[in-house]
A and B are shown apart, each in its own frame.
Chain A
Amino acid sequence: MDPSVIDLSRLQFALTALYHFLFVPLTLGLSFMLVIMESVYVMTGRPVWRQVTRFWGKIFGINFVLGVATGLTMEFEFGTNWSYFSHYVGDIFGAPLAIEGLMAFFLEATFVGLMFFGWDRLSKLGHLIVTFMVALGTNLSALWILIANGWMQNPVGAAFNPETMRMEVTDFGAVVFNPVAQAKFVHTVSAGYVTASVVVLGISAFWLLKGRWLPVARRSMTVAAAFGLASSLSVVVLGDESGYALTDNQKMKLAAIEAAWHTAPAPAGLTIFGIPSMATRETRYEVQVPWVLGLIATRSLGGTVTGMSELVLQAQERIASGQVAYAAVQRLKADAKDAPARAAFEAHKRDLGYALLLKRYVADPAAATPAEVERAAWDTVPSVPVMFWAFRVMAAIGFAMIALFATAFVLCSLRLHMSVRWFLRAAVVAIPLPWVAIELGWIVAELGRQPWAIDGVLPTFLAASSLTPAMLLTTIAGFTLLYGTLAVIEVRLILAAVRHGPIEDEPALPADTHAPISAQPLAV
């Protein structure tokens, strides 16, 4: 296939997925924060908490629609741009997507309408339940999509069927309870909670700095501080958990993140700084902290973190084994009853995907030369410099978030959060950081999966649709234009809503008229 088609397909998927995930984290987190705020309103009956809930509900709404709009693309993009992937693994991968629609999207989409339109038609408790259903729906949808994504990282519970030329489910329970998917789910939703907490914290801090909407800002900040501290601890601790799961399933990803070119004696040191080079396969200017990596990754003093060179040797063996499986599949295609071919296939089928790596260099993987096998084996190493740095920046932001929310929590507890101005400024400046971390997190997860679309099963360069570069350029330009325009509009509307503050429009007033703060119904 035309290599530019692969690159353009990957570019489009990366753009649309990363763009979609600008909106999702806020939806995941803000929905639960709305539940907390509204619960306080229902329990205390104080109108100010209704105002708090309704203001953040408005921000939620502006953000939510773009998450929905860009999610449409994602549901169909596997079919439009990755049709061989869709055929090859649809038997497994399609199910979580369909269940997501049935179990999660209907829930969030049906109740979100009532959340916005039902204030006057539902009892207080009824409306709270509706808000909770929205939060439950958005988070369930994250669960199912991460079960699908987790399966791409660690494809358990499936086997290749030569009669249908695809992977088929052998154990659906293993797909659902995939440990990689579980770790990813907790890590990802926690990151969403952090994002929402940072946004609420930052906007509240902005108001406190300006001396506006103090009763709403103060209360919002308290909710954000508590929710944010719990979530930022969760995202880092359970991020580590997903690194731990890697050591069993995706050793190569971990080795690339750590720029571990060779297996180091246990316990391995953690590289804090360095400039990894793909050409020389070494890291220059390395600064290491002894023991730490071994302790984090293997939870022991004796465990080793396998290096990339050693993993490449293993890949070479698996490619050789895969060549046998590939040859057997060709014979089974001609004659499904060929018993020796069936036996050879059964013995080597777990390595079939590795033979497909050779298709980049030869039409028939069974006929590849040892040099081509070695080249294909080195292809299993993802881009080390990107992995190394993306991970480090993400992790640094994660720790910065813990520091921010720990400070916020202490200040809120001491009732100092309205007066410490350096903290309020820091909270405003911090607003973009969770997005940087989250997008880098996806880059680590998905670039680290390369060269595979499905780890060990299907190489990315075989997964794309047979489209033309012109078609792909058309849609990339179209999505960029459409998404770019919508992003500008969205940010402007959110900024306008923040400027406008948590007052409800009186129809008689021009939109930019503010009543004095003292006239607001802010019973305290």
Chain B
Amino acid sequence: MFDYEMLRLIWWVLLGVLLIGFALTDGFDLGVAALLPFVARKDAERRMVINTIGPTWEGNQVWFILGGGAIFAAWPLVYAASFSGFYLAMFVVLAALILRPVGFKYRSKRPDPAWRSRWDWALFVGGLVPALVFGVAVGNVLTGAPFRFDGDLRVFYDGNFLALFSPFALLAGVLSVAMLVLHGAAWLSIKVEHGPVHDRATAYGFAAGTLALLLFAVGGLMVAAMPGFEIVGTVDPAGASNPLHTTARIVTGGWLANFARHPWMAIAPALGFAGTALAMIGIYRQRAALAFGGSSAGAAGIIATVGCAMFPFILPSSIDAHSSLTVWNASSSARTLGIMLVVTIVFLPIVLAYTAWAYRVMFGRVTTAAVTAGPDFY
């Protein structure tokens, strides 16, 4: 059907689709959870906020799990090197995410205020920490991770946990938080009743949007002065998946080269800025649909910017450029990529269809009156 090069390109795009799918769906759940203690002060308000995402967050989280599975299936070397290389960071993310399902379900099981307040903290951590660490991880992917392969393709690391938090990576982390808080605030402006919670959400959303625009711009300037990577010589896009055959080098500002080579790629950062700005206009003018559409487009643009800047690199190595993982040296076999593509083409539309149906069933604003009256609300 497709040749190996094409399959790899398709799976690179699908990797982006997965990450964007995660940011657009579970992203607002993370943002809402991070906003929870600030936008909602009374218990009924908090329950209202929680119940805006209560029925659907679980399906959204599958984008994250599927991300893990799909990277394993399509990019096994990336799965192996990144998750073991970012070992402790991954543990922190998992621990925070583990608090989430339990927090949603268990918080409402007892009326005790101390109990509920503890779970509010758990939900806040479960929203803020993953949003921050994912951004920090993207920052580290851009600077390159300290790993190398031996002749058997076993991966070794030089880094430590604290070294992950370089100024640039922290900037990426805060940008990620700002982007998802904006997205969460936009979701709340659609889903909660008009009133104090709605007003606070729009205020925090506007601030987060401003911060996101600023950090995205500063990040771009920093990247221009930062080491990027480029492949030396020619590569065989249909060659064996073995990073030891790669020759790569570090070039200052190298991550901007793709935008000069392929000017159409500038659509991605343009979408990042324009979407975020539109979201802020939507929030300011109380146009909830515009706000949510804008924050979605903004998040998609920001994530796509990273992908476009790095292509064909997926995970460069900061200590051994030759160990860097690219679209051409880190994929599964053509057969596996082909099988997984067929499975995706068959099942992704089905998933999207019933997900849309689920949102339609739960359509409408959640009110404090409803959550305190109904037995099924969290």
Binding site for B on A (CB under 8 A): 61-62, 64-66, 68-73, 75-76, 78-81, 83-84, 86-87, 90-95, 97-103, 105-107, 109-114, 116-122, 133, 161, 163-166, 168-170, 172, 333, 465-467, 471, 474-475, 478-479, 482, 486, 489, 493, 496, 504-505, 507, 511
Contacts and interface: CB of A to CB of B under 8 A. Distances in A.
Given A109-B59, A118-B361, A72 B54 contact: no
A45 B70 CA distance: 44
Contact of A98 (B99, B340, B374): B340
Enumerate the 3 nearest inter-chain pairs by beta-carbon distance, A residue then B residue, closest first: A90-B76, A79-B83, A94-B73
A90 B109 contact: no
A117 B359 CA distance: 12
Contacts of A84: 80, 154-155
A479 B343 CA distance: 34
A168 B157 CA distance: 26
Given A112-B58, A471-B88, A507-B373, A493 B72 contact: no
Contact of A80 (B90, B374, B376): B90
Contacts of A103: 343, 347
A75 B68 contact: yes
A99 B74 CA distance: 12
Given A98-B72, A113-B56, A121-B361, 9 more contacts: A62-B105, A69-B99, A78-B72, A94-B332, A97-B72, A101-B66, A102-B69, A110-B59, A114-B362
B355 A110 contact: yes
B95 interface: yes
Contact of A68 (B76, B101, B362): B101
A118 to B, nearest CB: 6
Given A61-B105, A69-B102, A93-B72, A76 B94 contact: yes
Contact of B155 (A64, A76, A87, A98): A87
Contacts of B155: 83-84, 87, 465-466
A496 B109 contact: yes
Interface in B322-374: 332-333, 335-336, 339-340, 343-344, 347-348, 351, 354-355, 358, 361-362, 372-374
Contacts of A107: 351, 354
B221 interface: no
B68 A95 contact: no
A304 B109 CA distance: 57
Query: Which of the four size classes fits the interface of chain B?
Result: 35 or more
A94 B74 contact: yes
A81 B94 CA distance: 14
Contacts of B57: 113
A79 B55 contact: no
A119 B373 contact: no
Contacts of B373: 507
A91 B242 CA distance: 13
B84 interface: yes
Interface string B77-88: 101111110011
B111 A511 contact: yes
B276 interface: no
B27 to A, nearest CB: 16
Contacts of A163: 240, 242
Given A83-B155, A169-B336, A467-B84, A68 B374 contact: no
A79 B80 contact: yes
Contact of A86 (B79, B240, B339, B348): B79
B101 A465 contact: no
Contacts of A100: 69
Interface string B57-71: 111011011101111
Contacts of B38: none
A134 to B, nearest CB: 11
B153 interface: yes
A73 B94 contact: yes
A69 B151 CA distance: 37
A118 B354 CA distance: 14
Given A90-B79, A114-B361, A99 B58 contact: no
Given A168-B336, A465-B84, A120 B110 contact: no
Given A113-B56, A114-B361, A101 B83 contact: no
Nearest to B362: A117
Given A117-B55, A164-B241, A66 B87 contact: no
B58 A68 contact: yes
B358 A87 contact: no
Contact of B376 (A116, A165, A486): A116
B142 to A, nearest CB: 20
Contacts, number: 252
Contacts of A505: 375
B89 to A, nearest CB: 10
Contacts of A504: 375
A106 B153 contact: no
Given A95-B339, A117-B362, A165 B152 contact: yes
A121 B360 CA distance: 10
Given A75-B68, A87-B155, A95-B73, A69 B361 contact: no
B284 interface: no
Contact of A101 (B56, B62, B77, B336): B62
Contact of B54 (A95, A117, A119): A117
Contacts of A81: 84
B190 interface: no
Contacts of B106: 62, 65, 489, 493
B76 A106 contact: no
B104 interface: yes
A60 B313 CA distance: 44
A55 to B, nearest CB: 12
Contact of A164 (B68, B154, B242, B375): B242
Given A113-B56, A172-B335, A172-B339, A76 B68 contact: yes
Given A83-B81, A111-B358, A475-B88, A106 B55 contact: no
A80 B80 CA distance: 7
Nearest to A500: B109
Contacts of A61: 105
A478 B83 contact: no
Contacts of B81: 83
Interface in B230-257: 240-242
Q: Which of A75, A164, A170, A507 has most chain B Cβ within 10 Å?
A: A164
B58 A79 contact: no
25 contacts: A65-B104, A69-B98, A70-B98, A75-B69, A76-B94, A78-B79, A83-B84, A83-B154, A84-B155, A90-B73, A91-B333, A94-B76, A94-B332, A98-B72, A98-B74, A99-B340, A111-B354, A117-B376, A133-B354, A164-B242, A168-B333, A471-B88, A474-B91, A496-B110, A504-B375
A129 to B, nearest CB: 11
B335 A102 contact: no
Nearest to B239: A163
A473 to B, nearest CB: 12
A121 B98 contact: no
Contacts of B374: 120
Contacts of A133: 354
Contact of A94 (B79, B109, B376): B79
A92 B76 CA distance: 10
B311 interface: no
Contact of A165 (B73, B102, B242, B375): B242
A307 B14 CA distance: 50
Interface in B4-63: 54-59, 61-62
Nearest to B150: A466
Contacts of B79: 78-79, 86, 90, 94
Contact of A69 (B80, B100, B332): B100
Contacts of B76: 86-87, 90-91, 94, 166
B175 interface: no
A489 B97 CA distance: 17
Given A109-B62, A475-B88, A333 B344 contact: no
A97 B104 contact: no
A386 B20 CA distance: 47
